[in-house]
Amino acid sequence: MTQDSSIRIGRRMFLQSVLILFALMMVAGVLTRAIPAGSYERVLLDGRESIDPGSFRLVERPDYPIWRWLTAPVEILAAPGNLTLIVILIFLIFIGGSFSIMEKSGLIHTLLARIVKRYARRKYLLLLVVTGFFMLMGAFFGIVEESIILVPVCVALAYSVGWDAFVGLGMSVLATNLGFTAAITNPFTVGVGQKLAGLPMFSGTLLRVVLWLVVYAVFATFLVTYARRIERRPEASPIYGEDGADRSRYGDFHAAAGENPRMGAALTFFGACLVVILAVLFASPFVQAISDYAFPIVGVLFLVAGIGAGLIAGMGHRTWSALWQGILGIAPAIPLILLATSVKHIVLMGGVLDTILHAAATPLESASPFVMVLLIYGLTMVIELFVPSGSAKGFLMLPILLPLAGMLDVTSQQTVLAYCLGDGPANLIYPTNAMLLISLGLTTVRYSKWLRWSWPLWLALLAVSIAFLGIAVAIGYGPF
């Protein structure tokens, strides 16, 4: 219990993120003064709010003083829709406390020892299998944020076999995000998009399956190449020399594994909870009663799994000390998330979010079909900065873009594909995305180093996206 929990937000990463997010907040505030306020009329579509594409009008600028830019991180807690944000923050606290218990009880070390022993001669196969699993979770079920619970485990696994935190982040949260991008039946992008377009649900699957396979091949090549390089030359890691504590934490765990006779029962209990968690995640896209509460259910189950496993492993009262230490370690992520979500709040309260969307959509009216899908792709990435949610972005953009696309002989299926491809990659590029901040905060990886490490992958995915959008236009992907 004397060792600090690995669930913690590094000071340097915290300060760097605060500066970046504060700058983005100020940019958002300046936009509320530099461009006119405008508004679309909202309509209800199957119980969800959508936009009337022909209803844009300029409106009187709201009374939104400059000093409220600074109070936005607090105001969003009382803003409409704040319940989702509060649930995310509670979910994050549960993750920090639960993982700290599992780490200090020896559960993580034992679990890693068993995995490494089984795959000692096939660790790259293990890397490919884990990466593929997370990508499938994102592609079929739209699971991204929920994968954060396994980021510390994957990072620990990467260290235990001689890699670094980049590989751990790659085969967990980055993999789910890329699966989310190369969506097959993702209900939050494909489902929402096709529903708004009036397409048969999850139609056009064949091309999306091929897209998923190509993205998986590109990503697997990138990740395996990097893992082999740092295995041969550890100093090639961008965080070499900065992650000594994490390496020592997971570098010599084999001797401790299996010493506690209660560990088998603790692992069984944790495994049973994990099975229930996966069942909830698999069922949530199809069962409305579960879908509305999947996030808090997963958080509570993970907390129960951690506390229960700690008590079964014989930690006793130390379980609660570990829980508190984990909560304290993850707590700095809360102000980062509030700062990140403040960017959208500022442009929304300043009345310019619809103006930005209208201005971005206007040039699309005279584009060729291929240029049109590329512009939709790029526009989605721009709006992502202010609206990270895939489904919310769909209800905001697609009612405007679908009629424009139809006038330019771009099918609804092509429009939805361009929107899906544009939504995903930016999730792990923009610092306004809470998932990215949390994931990096659980490691020693700073945002600037994350960008330098991942930019070749983003360029490759950009090329793949453009190629598939070109194929979609060329084959008349649709047919409507």
Rounded CA-CA distance 96/326 in Å is 5
Domain membership flag for residue 4: no
Which residues span the domain enclosing 432? 11-474
Domain membership flag for residue 6: no
CA-based angle 62:63:67, to the nearest 5? 125
Query: How far does Cα 282 stand from its chain's mean position?
Result: 17
Q: Which of 463, 276, 340, 382 is nearest to 88 (CA)?
A: 340
Q: Is 57 helix (H, G, I), strand (E, B) or coil?
A: strand
Specify whether the backbone of 184 is left (phi greater than 0), alpha (psi in -120 to 50) or beta: alpha
CA-based angle 413:134:184, to the nearest 5? 15
Q: Which of 453, 440, 455, 451 is nearest to 13 (CA)?
A: 440
Domain membership flag for residue 240: yes
- Torsion angles phi and psi, residue 45, rounded to 5: -125, 105
Domain membership flag for residue 319: yes
Buried (b) or exposed (e) across 184-198, using 16+ Cβ within 10 A? Answer: bbbbbbbbbbbbbbe
Domain membership flag for residue 341: yes
Rounded CA-CA distance 307/310 in Å is 5
Q: Among all chains, which residue has been given the structure tokens 């570098």?
A: 251
pLDDT at res. 451: 92
Q: Which of 1, 12, 4, 135 is nearest to 441 (CA)?
A: 12
pLDDT at res. 46: 60
Strand partners, 44: 49
pLDDT at res. 289: 67
Rounded CA-CA distance 436/452 in Å is 15
Domain count within the chain: 1
Domain membership flag for residue 385: yes
Domain membership flag for residue 479: no
Strand partners, 51: 42
Cβ contact 178:215 at 8 Å: yes
For residue 184, CA distances in Å to 204, 417, 420, 422 come to: 9, 10, 10, 15
Buried (b) or exposed (e) across 322-342, using 16+ Cβ within 10 A? Answer: bbebbbbbbebbbebbbbbbb
Q: Give the pLDDT of the chain (480 residues) as one tens digit per residue.
A: 334 555 566 677 678 778 888 888 899 899 999 999 998 887 776 655 667 777 889 999 999 999 999 999 899 888 876 777 787 788 778 877 887 888 788 787 777 677 777 777 888 999 998 899 889 888 887 777 767 777 888 888 888 888 999 999 999 889 999 999 998 888 778 888 888 787 887 788 899 999 999 999 999 999 999 999 999 999 999 998 887 777 776 655 444 444 567 888 888 898 898 888 878 777 766 676 676 677 678 778 888 988 998 899 888 888 898 888 888 877 887 888 788 788 888 988 999 988 888 887 777 777 889 999 999 999 888 888 777 767 777 877 887 788 778 767 889 899 999 999 998 777 778 877 777 877 887 788 888 899 999 999 999 999 999 999 999 999 999 877
Buried (b) or exposed (e) across 420-433, using 16+ Cβ within 10 A? Answer: bbbbbbbbbbbbbb
pLDDT at res. 94: 83
pLDDT at res. 255: 45
CA dihedral (253, 164, 11, 436) positive or negative: negative
